[in-house]
Amino acid sequence: MRIDVLGVGFDNVTMAEAVERGTALLHTEGTHYVVTPNPEIVEVCRENPEARRAVNGADLVLPDGIGVVKGAAMLGTPLKEKTPGIEFAAHLMERMAGEGLSLYLLGAKPGVAEQAAENLTRQYPGLVIAGARDGYFKEDGPVVEAIRQSGADAVFVCLGAPKQELWMAKNGPATGAHLLCGLGGSLDVFAGTVERAPKFWCDHGLEWFYRLCREPRRIGRMMKLPLFLVHVKREKRKK
Q: Which residues in this chain contact ligand UDP in the complex, by CB under 6 A?
A: 107-109, 135-136, 158-161, 163, 184-185, 187-188
Q: Which is nearer to ligand UDP, 20 or 197 (CB)?
A: 197
Rounded to the nearest angstrom, the gap between the alpha carbon of residue 33 and the centroid of all alpha carbons in its chain is: 10
**Nearest distance in Å: CB 233, ligand UDP:** 24
Nearest residue to ligand UDP, using CB?
135
CB count within 10 Å of CB 131 equals: 19
Q: Which is nearer to ligand UDP, 101 or 224 (CB)?
A: 224
Q: Which is nearer to ligand UDP, 79 or 161 (CB)?
A: 161
Q: Which is nearer to ligand UDP, 13 or 44 (CB)?
A: 44
- Closest to 39 in 3D by CA, of 70, 67, 9: 67
**Nearest distance in Å: CB 150, ligand UDP:** 18
- Closest to 70 in 3D by CA, of 228, 234, 227, 239: 228
Q: Which is nearer to ligand UDP, 108 or 202 (CB)?
A: 108
**Nearest distance in Å: CB 82, ligand UDP:** 14
Report yes or no: 130 and 177 within 8 Å, Cβ to Cβ.
no
CB count within 10 Å of CB 218 equals: 14
**Nearest distance in Å: CB 155, ligand UDP:** 13
- Closest to 6 in 3D by CA, of 239, 178, 228, 238: 228
| Cα–Cα distance measured from residue 161 to residue 149, given in angstroms and rounded to the nearest whole number | 26
What H or E segment, with its residue span, contains residue 66?
Answer: helix 66-74
Of the CA atoms within 13 Å of residue 19, those in its CB half-sphere come to 17
**Nearest distance in Å: CB 210, ligand UDP:** 13
Q: Which is nearer to ligand UDP, 99 or 140 (CB)?
A: 140
**Nearest distance in Å: CB 207, ligand UDP:** 10
